[in-house]
């Protein structure tokens, strides 16, 4: 007897649809029912597009019948609410866009649509993707399916929780400093942030343009490969997307790890890392070694500067990117403004939450006359050094492995009063964003019943290596198939 | 200007580039559409949209750089200029700051003594225009029209090399001429596609150090540039002579009152927080590209002027006028090529009669009812003595009014010149017989009276007698 639909992976569902074992309509209905029963306690979705999904599923079944099915025809997914979706509320987790219905589709949305994917809804997220716990969302925190008292991580916490709770087989996410990989680690899912420029940013609401990258959250490396293959590729509407053919990510995934050189960074195992997590990571590295990989210590001398560097560059860009939310053309507008200044101050004051304001103010400060050189310019120089460290390291190794996050999921409310501690959640992931490198988190164990993630970083366009490494690891372990009991 | 003071002026000219679509979006740049009908999601600064550079603006900026003998930067960078204003949808303007596309250019103007003066061009950079606020018809609100948002501009910044309002105007006219020659801007000042800001300061003559400057904003005609700068120079001198100090500020010129006055100081406190735009890649231009653009450069006004003087032997001041506008220069050359007449005669007619008629009727040279070929036909009839220069003006007016070619008009109006000596002699005899006292005065030495007799003969013949023949026959007969 075939497994229940919600427990099947993206790849299995695509194959099942192909074989006609079930229809897209049945599958979509099943998942919408799950969302209806479980999401009230998880709060993973801001918008559920049930009617549109059912209609799309019917169309997908018709396409299937006429032999005109794309790679993801009829497979349901969810989008992080940072991607613009035509005719659908696109809030970015903010009161500022509580009423914003996008008039257009992001490129990512368009490509997945074209492949036949069905959108079940839009996932909750930290406001404008600024946060590591999903607690900055105007729509309330998302709860971790492994323990609803805990955070699922952020900012793509809704996407991660939805995939972990089997409400959808896969989700899109975005990652500016770890926003795909950290929630994937904290929810026992697979999170892939591609190389900067691999996936179009068009229609993805900008947080920090030079760091933002769209990616996927799935339940296996194979699923990530399938989804990325559809999303990736040059887009003339995004000048920073790179004109380079998209490889067949699935084809390379089965290769062996024999001789693979895996870099280990000393600083990644320093005091900040939870000892039990460290143990899980070391065991995971041993699994890679067993398959023929060689562990080699590499030095990233400036990696300790990545968090401070990030918290200059990202706020600087966000302070400018978020200027367009001024109450004039779209989004939240204050009632009865007295004059222009009042319109600006109250629309923005009411529309943005505390963390967004904190970053806008930090960013405005570091770009100000007299401070620009000391902060923004200096941070750009350090960013360059960090990127060069990675380049040197990748001369010796094929992939760098370590922890995704210093601790397993923390309790909601534990870190909200201390931004610095919250920022340190991304200490292992930020480097890849600063250097524009691909990074992947795959489940590698549990601590107190909460998942731990193994983080893999590759050289530019090294997604195939990351996927192969993760896939081979997943062939030897079953952490990635573990499902929280309530959601089985 | 009051004796001991010297003005120091630099101009920032904003030329709208003549592209079909905007600098970072596919929306049309056509002027005069209904508000907000030519603003796409990118121009409106919608969440998630991204700018994509219109390659045409790079080519145009490159052309300008080559035309003013400047360096075209191998790498230039777009930066964000951050400020809040309702007509600025993104809350920042995409411009170029530290690394502009064009640097270190120059051009020549004529100074007060008519000598060439070199004016340095510090830089020219690409940027997007903002939209505009509409303050009428919205009760207590303002309207925003974003059709202009994202229109490409080339901002051309001069060195502080200009020393008078006249020089500033001459410089601005020269830039105007160059951008239109290059076809990169229509230079239409009424529509705002060519305007400038002026930085003006004064200092005691002989002092090296610059005085504190005021910036005069949005001067959109040559006349206003001259008046605003002159007003500002006088204002500053008066202030300093009274023991005051010039405040560094932005001032607006009010053409109704012919004065400048400070803009609100709030708008002065802007810190634009420039930083490189992470949505756009640096613009990289290689030598091959520059050479390819160089190949497409037309003959520029200075070179054309010099060639006109050398090749056609026309007066330099006429060459100046004829080369202000590429279409006019082409017209002139077309007439010269088609007529038997001398080039200077063509220049005289074009400058005196044609330009006068165009100005009177508010037409551009391209709209002239008399084509270059038709004008050549008219000048040929002067050359072959069919008509006199004076009759030619009547024929020209008739051609302008649509009565056909020169030959058509001469024929239909019977304006053919009288060159038959016996016919002229008969008229001359009649005039001499009718004016015995003037004849006596002439013969007693009042040689100037010849003009009187010529006039009488012309009057008798309705202006159609050949003036040369009339002169010769009169002198001959009066000498007897």
Query: Could you read off the pLDDT of B16-50 as tens digits, one per residue?
Result: 999 999 999 999 999 889 999 999 999 999 999 99
Give chain B positions within 8 Å (CB) of A316: 275
The residue-averaged pLDDT of A65-86 equals: 96
Question: Mean pLDDT lowest for which of A255-264, A315-324, B115-124, B393-402?
Answer: B393-402
Among B112, B124, B151, B149, which residue's Cα sits nearest to residue B20?
A: B151
Structure confidence at residue A2 (pLDDT): 54
Strand order in the sheet with A399-403: A45-48, A118-123, A76-80, A171-175, A213-218, A190-193, A439-447, A450-457, A399-403, A261-265, A294-298
Q: How far apart are CA B167 and CA B479, in angstroms?
A: 56
Give the percent of chain A with pLDDT over 90.
94
Tally the C-alpha atoms within 13 A of residue B467's C-alpha that lie toward its C-beta.
11
Q: Are A399 and A458 in contact (CB under 8 A)?
A: yes
Q: How far apart are CA A40 and CA A402, in angstroms?
A: 35
Q: Which long-range contacts does B332-339 make (Cβ < 8 Å, 24+ apart)?
A: B332/B308, B334/B372, B334/B373, B334/B376, B335/B372, B335/B375, B335/B376, B335/B379, B336/B312, B337/B376, B338/B372, B338/B373, B338/B376, B338/B377, B339/B375, B339/B376, B339/B377, B339/B379, B339/B380, B339/B383
Q: Are A442 and A473 in contact (CB under 8 A)?
A: yes
Residue A320 near chain B (CB below 8 Å): yes
Compute, in degrees rounded to 10, the torsion defined by CA atoms B67, B71, B74, B79: -90
Structure confidence at residue B255 (pLDDT): 84
Active site residue A210: no
Structure confidence at residue B266 (pLDDT): 47
The residue-averaged pLDDT of B267-275 equals: 79
Q: How far apart are CA B217 and CA A248, in angstroms?
A: 57
Among A127, A238, A87, A108, which residue's Cα sits nearest to residue A170?
A: A108
Strand B75-76 to strand A45-48: parallel, antiparallel, or no bridges (unpaired)? unpaired
Active site residue A37: no
Given a cut of 80, whether residue A379 has pLDDT beyond it is yes
Residue A318 near chain B (CB below 8 Å): no
pLDDT band at A1 (very low <50, low <70, confident <90, very high): very low
**Alpha-helix runs per DSSP H in B364-435:** 372-383, 389-400, 406-413, 421-434
Q: For helices A24-42 and A50-65, what crossing angle results, to 10°?
A: 160
Q: Which of B50, B273, B274 sits opposite A238 (nearest CB)?
A: B50
* Interface test with chain B among A352, A367, A436, by most B beta carbons within 10 Å: A367
Q: Are A185 and A445 in contact (CB under 8 A)?
A: no
Query: Could you read off the pLDDT of B130-157 as tens digits, one per residue?
Result: 999 888 888 778 899 999 999 999 999 9
- Cα–Cα distances in Å, from B475 out to B33, B389, B449? 68, 21, 11
* pLDDT higher at B65 or B415: B65
ipTM: 0.96
Tokens of B393: 């003006």
Tally the C-alpha atoms within 13 A of residue B116's C-alpha that lie toward its C-beta.
9
**Structural domains of chain A ordered from first start:** 5-263+397-487 (3.90.1300.10)
* A425–chain B nearest CA distance, Å: 25
Whether residues A324 and B50 touch (CB distance < 8 A) is answered with no
Structure confidence at residue B385 (pLDDT): 80
Query: Could you read off the pLDDT of A203-239 as tens digits, one per residue?
Result: 999 999 999 999 999 999 999 999 999 999 999 999 9
Active site residue A122: no
Q: How far apart are CA B198 and CA B187, in angstroms?
A: 18
Structure confidence at residue B387 (pLDDT): 83
Give the percent of chain A with pLDDT over 70.
100
- Cα–Cα distances in Å, from A239 out to A202, A206, B50, B252, B318? 9, 14, 8, 38, 50
Structure confidence at residue B218 (pLDDT): 82
- CA angle A59/B41/A245 to nearest 5° reads 65
Q: Which of A205, A319, A331 sits opposite B48 (nearest CB)?
A: A205
Residue A374 is given by DSSP the state I
Query: Could you read off the pLDDT of A141-153 as tens digits, one per residue?
Result: 999 999 999 999 9
- Cα–Cα distances in Å, from B90 out to A349, A369, B5, B212, B438? 18, 21, 44, 33, 85
Structure confidence at residue B480 (pLDDT): 67
Contacts of B468 (CB under 8 A, 6+ apart): none
**What element of type H or E holds A172?**
strand A171-175
Contacts of A93 (CB under 8 A, 6+ apart): A46, A81, A82, A124, A125, A126, A127, A128, A129, A136, A137, A138, A139, A155
Residue A260 near chain B (CB below 8 Å): no
Structure confidence at residue A101 (pLDDT): 98
Given a cut of 90, whether residue A14 has pLDDT beyond it is yes
Among B347, B327, B324, B325, which residue's Cα sits nearest to residue B336?
A: B347
Q: How far apart are CA A193 and CA A217, in angstroms?
A: 9
Query: Could you read off the pLDDT of A16-75 as tens digits, one per residue?
Result: 999 999 999 999 999 999 999 999 999 999 999 999 999 999 999 999 999 988 999 999
Can you give the pTM of this predicted structure? 0.91
How does DSSP assign B185-198, residue by residue? ----TTTTSEEEEE
Q: How far apart are CA A202 and CA B41, in angstroms?
A: 12
Query: Could you read off the pLDDT of A413-426 as tens digits, one per residue?
Result: 988 888 888 888 88
Strand order in the sheet with B5-16: B71-72, B102-110, B116-128, B152-158, B5-16, B194-204, B214-219, B249-254, B259-262
* A450–chain B nearest CA distance, Å: 35
Whether residues B49 and A320 touch (CB distance < 8 A) is answered with no
Residue A317 near chain B (CB below 8 Å): yes
The residue from A23, A94, A102, A155 that is catalytic is A155
Give chain A positions within 8 Å (CB) of B39: none
Given a cut of 60, whether residue A165 has pLDDT beyond it is yes
State the distance between the two ends of chain A, measured CA to CA, in whole angstroms: 16
* B53–chain A nearest CA distance, Å: 8
Structure confidence at residue A486 (pLDDT): 94
Q: Which of A319, A324, A364 sits opposite B45 (nearest CB)?
A: A324
Q: Are A209 and A251 in contact (CB under 8 A)?
A: no
Query: Could you read off the pLDDT of A307-353 as tens digits, one per residue?
Result: 999 999 999 999 999 999 999 999 999 999 999 999 999 999 999 99
Q: Is it true that domain B421-479 has CATH number 3.40.47.10? A: no
* Interface test with chain A among B48, B85, B146, by most A beta carbons within 10 Å: B48
Strand B214-219 to strand B194-204: parallel, antiparallel, or no bridges (unpaired)? antiparallel
Tokens of B241: 């002579």
Q: What is the distance, to the nearest Å, from the Cα of residue B418 to the centroid of all Cα atoms in its chain? A: 43
From chain A residues 407-466, the ones with a CB under 8 A of any chain B CB are none
Whether residues B52 and A237 touch (CB distance < 8 A) is answered with yes
Give chain A positions within 8 Å (CB) of B41: 103-104
Cβ contacts below 8 Å, chain A against chain B, sum to 97
The residue from A9, A23, A80, A122 that is catalytic is A80
Contacts of A194 (CB under 8 A, 6+ apart): A213, A214, A215, A228, A232, A438, A463
The residue-averaged pLDDT of B190-219 equals: 93
Given a cut of 90, whether residue A249 has pLDDT beyond it is yes
Structure confidence at residue B474 (pLDDT): 87
How does DSSP assign B9-59, residue by residue? EEEEEEEE---SB-SSSS-B--TTPSTTSS--TTTTT-TT------HHHHH
Residue A326 near chain B (CB below 8 Å): yes
Structure confidence at residue A417 (pLDDT): 83
Q: How far apart are CA A56 and CA A200, in angstroms?
A: 24
Tokens of A253: 């995934």
Q: Give the CA radius of gyration of chain A.
A: 21
Q: How far apart are CA A2 and CA B169, in angstroms?
A: 84
Q: Quick one: chain B helix, strand, coil %, rounded to 5?
A: 40, 20, 40
Domain boundaries, chain B: 5-292, 301-413, 421-479
* A203–chain B nearest CA distance, Å: 4
Tally the C-alpha atoms within 13 A of residue A262's C-alpha that lie toward its C-beta.
27
Whether residues B278 and A209 touch (CB distance < 8 A) is answered with yes
Strand A76-80 to strand A118-123: parallel, antiparallel, or no bridges (unpaired)? parallel
Q: How far apart are CA A109 and CA B451, in angstroms?
A: 90
Structure confidence at residue A404 (pLDDT): 97
Residue A365 near chain B (CB below 8 Å): no
Q: How far apart are CA A86 and CA A122, in angstroms?
A: 12
pLDDT band at B412 (very low <50, low <70, confident <90, very high): confident
- Cα–Cα distances in Å, from B337 out to A378, B312, B332, B340, B379? 65, 11, 9, 8, 12
Count CB-CB contacts under 10 A for residue A350. 14
**What element of type H or E holds B357?**
helix B355-361
pLDDT band at B384 (very low <50, low <70, confident <90, very high): confident
Q: Which residue has the tokens 């524009």?
A: A436
Give chain B positions within 8 Å (CB) of A364: 273
Mean model confidence pLDDT for chain A: 96
Contacts of B177 (CB under 8 A, 6+ apart): B301, B323, B324, B325
Provide the phi-psi class of A450: left if phi over 0, else alpha when psi is between -120 and 50, else beta: beta
Q: How far apart are CA B320 and CA B347, in angstroms?
A: 11
Most confident range (mean pLDDT) of A150-154, B2-6, B394-398 is: A150-154
Contacts of B269 (CB under 8 A, 6+ apart): none
Tally the C-alpha atoms within 13 A of residue A65's C-alpha that lie toward its C-beta.
9
Q: Which residue has the tokens 């895996």?
A: A262
Nearest C-alpha in B relative to A90: B47
Tokens of B472: 């010769």
The residue-averaged pLDDT of B418-445 equals: 86
Give chain A positions within 8 Å (CB) of B271: 368-369
């Amino acid at each position: 007897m075939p497994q229940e639909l919600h427990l099947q992976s993206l790849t299995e569902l695509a194959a099942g649809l192909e074989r006609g074992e079930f229809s897209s309509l049945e599958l979509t209905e099943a998942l919408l029912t799950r969302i209806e029963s479980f999401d009230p306690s998880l709060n993973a979705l801001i918008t559920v597009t049930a009617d549109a999904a059912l209609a799309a599923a019917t169309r997908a079944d018709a396409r299937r019948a006429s032999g005109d099915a794309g790679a993801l025809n009829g497979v349901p997914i969810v989008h992080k609410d940072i991607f613009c979706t035509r005719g659908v509320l696109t809030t970015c987790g903010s009161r500022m866009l509580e009423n914003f219905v996008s008039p257009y589709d992001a490129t990512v949305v368009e490509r997945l649509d074209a492949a036949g994917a069905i959108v079940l809804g839009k996932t909750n997220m930290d406001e404008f993707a600024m946060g590591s716990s999903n607690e900055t969302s105007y729509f309330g925190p998302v709860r971790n399916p492994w323990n609803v008292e805990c955070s699922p991580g952020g900012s793509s916490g809704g996407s991660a929780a939805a995939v972990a709770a089997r409400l959808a087989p896969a989700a899109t996410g975005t990652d500016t400093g770890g926003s795909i990989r950290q929630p994937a680690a904290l929810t026992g899912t697979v999170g892939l942030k591609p190389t900067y420029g691999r996936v179009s940013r068009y229609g993805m609401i900008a947080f920090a343009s030079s760091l933002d990258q769209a990616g996927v959250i799935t339940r296996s490396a194979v699923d990530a490969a399938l989804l990325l293959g559809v999303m990736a590729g040059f887009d003339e509407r995004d000048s920073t997307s790179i004109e380079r053919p998209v490889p067949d990510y699935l084809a390379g995934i089965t290769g062996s790890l024999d001789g693979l050189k895996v870099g280990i960074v000393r600083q990644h195992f320093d005091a900040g890392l939870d000892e039990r997590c460290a143990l899980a990571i070391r065991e995971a590295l041993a699994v890679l070694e067993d398959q023929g990989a060689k562990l080699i210590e590499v030095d990233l001398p400036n990696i300790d500067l990545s968090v401070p560097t990030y918290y200059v560059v990202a706020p600087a860009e966000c302070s400018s990117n978020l200027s367009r939310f001024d109450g004039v053309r779209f989004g939240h507008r204050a009632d009865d403004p007295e004059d222009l200044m009042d319109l600006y101050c109250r629309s923005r004051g009411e529309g943005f939450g505390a963390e967004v304001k904190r970053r806008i103010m930090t960013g405005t400060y570091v770009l100000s006359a007299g401070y620009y050189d000391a902060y923004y310019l200096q941070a750009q120089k350090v960013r360059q050094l960090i990127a060069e460290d990675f380049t040197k390291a990748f001369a010796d190794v094929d992939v760098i492995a370590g922890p995704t996050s210093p601790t397993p999921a923390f309790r909601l409310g534990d870190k909200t009063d201390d931004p610095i501690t919250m920022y340190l959640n991304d200490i292992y992931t930020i480097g890849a964003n600063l250097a524009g490198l691909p990074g992947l988190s795959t489940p590698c164990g549990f601590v107190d019943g909460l998942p731990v993630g193994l983080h893999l970083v590759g050289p530019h366009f090294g997604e195939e290596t990351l996927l192969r490494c993760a896939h081979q690891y997943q062939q030897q372990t079953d952490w990635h198939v573990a499902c929280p009991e309530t959601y089985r | 200007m009051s004796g001991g003071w010297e003005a120091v002026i630099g101009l920032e000219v904003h030329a709208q580039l003549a592209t079909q679509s905007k600098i970072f979006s596919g929306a049309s740049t056509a002027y005069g559409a209904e508000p907000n009908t030519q603003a796409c999601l990118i121009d409106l600064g919608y969440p998630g949209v991204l700018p994509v550079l219109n390659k045409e603006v790079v080519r145009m900026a490159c052309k300008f750089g080559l035309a003013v003998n400047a360096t075209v930067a191998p790498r230039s960078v777009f930066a964000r200029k951050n400020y809040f204003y309702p007509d600025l949808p993104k809350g920042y303007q995409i411009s170029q700051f530290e690394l502009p596309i064009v640097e270190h250019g120059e051009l020549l103007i004529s100074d007060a003594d008519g000598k060439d003066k070199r004016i340095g061009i510090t830089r020219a950079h690409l940027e997007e225009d903002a939209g505009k606020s509409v303050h009428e018809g919205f009760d207590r609100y303002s309207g925003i029209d974003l059709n202009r948002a994202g229109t490409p501009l080339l901002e051309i910044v001069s060195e502080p090399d200009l020393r008078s309002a006249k020089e500033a105007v001459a410089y601005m006219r020269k830039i105007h001429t160059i951008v239109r020659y290059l076809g990169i801007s229509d230079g239409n000042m009424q529509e705002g596609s060519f305007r400038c800001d002026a930085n003006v300061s004064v200092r005691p003559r002989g002092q090296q150090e610059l005085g504190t400057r005021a910036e005069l904003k949005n001067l959109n005609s040559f006349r206003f540039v001259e008046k605003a700068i002159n007003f500002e120079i006088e204002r500053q001198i008066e202030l300093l002579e009274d023991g005051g100090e010039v405040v560094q500020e932005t001032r607006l010129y009010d053409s109704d009152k012919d004065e400048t006055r400070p803009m609100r100081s709030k708008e002065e406190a802007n810190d634009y927080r420039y930083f490189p735009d992470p949505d756009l890649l640096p613009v990289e231009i290689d030598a091959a590209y520059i050479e390819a653009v160089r190949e497409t450069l037309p003959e520029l006004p200075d070179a054309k002027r010099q060639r006109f003087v050398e090749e056609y032997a026309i007066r330099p001041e006429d060459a100046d006028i004829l080369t202000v506008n590429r279409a006019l220069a082409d017209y002139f050359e077309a007439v010269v090529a088609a007529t038997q007449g001398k080039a200077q005669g063509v220049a005289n007619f074009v400058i005196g009669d044609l330009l006068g008629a165009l100005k009177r009727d508010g037409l551009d040279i391209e709209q002239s009812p008399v084509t270059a070929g038709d004008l050549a036909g008219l000048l040929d009839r002067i050359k072959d003595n069919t008509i006199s220069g004076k009759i030619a003006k009547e024929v020209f007016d008739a051609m302008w009014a649509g009565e056909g070619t020169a030959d058509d008009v001469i024929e239909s109006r019977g304006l053919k010149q009288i060159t038959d000596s016996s016919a002229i002699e008969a008229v001359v005899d009649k005039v001499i017989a009718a004016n015995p006292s003037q004849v006596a005065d002439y013969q007693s030495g009042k040689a100037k009276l010849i003009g009187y007799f010529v006039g009488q003969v012309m009057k008798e013949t309705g202006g159609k007698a050949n003036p040369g023949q009339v002169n010769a026959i009169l002198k001959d007969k009066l000498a007897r």
